[in-house]
Amino acid sequence: MKARDLPPKELIEKLKEEHKELPDQIDDAILTFKTGNLSGAFPLIADIREKIGQHTIDEEAVLLKIIIEKLGKEAAEPYIEILQAHVKITKLVDDAVESTYTGWSETENLLLSLKQELKNHHAQEEETFFPKVLQLIS
C-alpha cells in the first residue's frame, strides 16, 4: 500500500471524511456480528483494517513528512507523538481481525475499544495535526 496521490489539502479533506465514516462502519460490523452474521461481519472488519492502514500511510508518509521538512524533527515531536497512536490503533484492529479466527469472543469489545481510540485520536488530528499542516503549506 502506498500513499494516495492527492494534494495535501484534498488529502486532509479525504481523511476528515474517513474520520466521520469509520465509527459508523465499526457500528455496522458490531451490529452484523451481534445478529450472528459472522460471514458478513468479517469482510466489514477487514475493510476497516484496510481503510485504517491506508489512512495511516497517508498521514505518516505525506502529512508528517511536510511537518518534518518544514519544522525539523525536533520541532515536529508533538505531531509525531499524535501519530504514535497509530500503533495502538493498528494493534486493536489487527486483534479484532484475529479474534474472528479464534472464536469471536473478544471481537465486540475490541471494536468498541477501537472506536473509542479512534474518536480520541481523530480529535487530536483535527484540532492540532491537520491545522499545522495547512498552516505550513499556506
- Residue length of the chain: 138
Q: Report d(CA 75, CA 54) in Å as an integer.
A: 26
- Give the closest residue to 30 by CA, choosing from 19, 20, 42: 42
Mean pLDDT over the full length of the chain: 96
What confidence score (pLDDT) does residue 122 get?
A: 98
C-alpha cell at 58: 497517508
Q: Report d(CA 114, CA 92) in Å as an integer.
A: 6
Q: How confident is the model at residue 1 (pLDDT cuts 50, 70, 90)?
A: confident
What confidence score (pLDDT) does residue 10 get?
A: 98
User: Which residue in this structure is represented by grid cell 479525504?
Assistant: 14
What's the whole-number mean pLDDT along residues 101-106? 89
What confidence score (pLDDT) does residue 3 get?
A: 97
For residue range 41-88, what is the model confidence (pLDDT) as tens digits?
999 999 999 999 999 999 999 999 999 999 999 999 999 999 999 999
What confidence score (pLDDT) does residue 103 get?
A: 85
Show the CA angle centred on residue 116, arms to residues 114 and 48, nearest 5°: 35
Percent of the chain with pLDDT over 70: 100
Distances (CA, A) of 44 to 29, 59, 74, 116: 6, 23, 39, 18
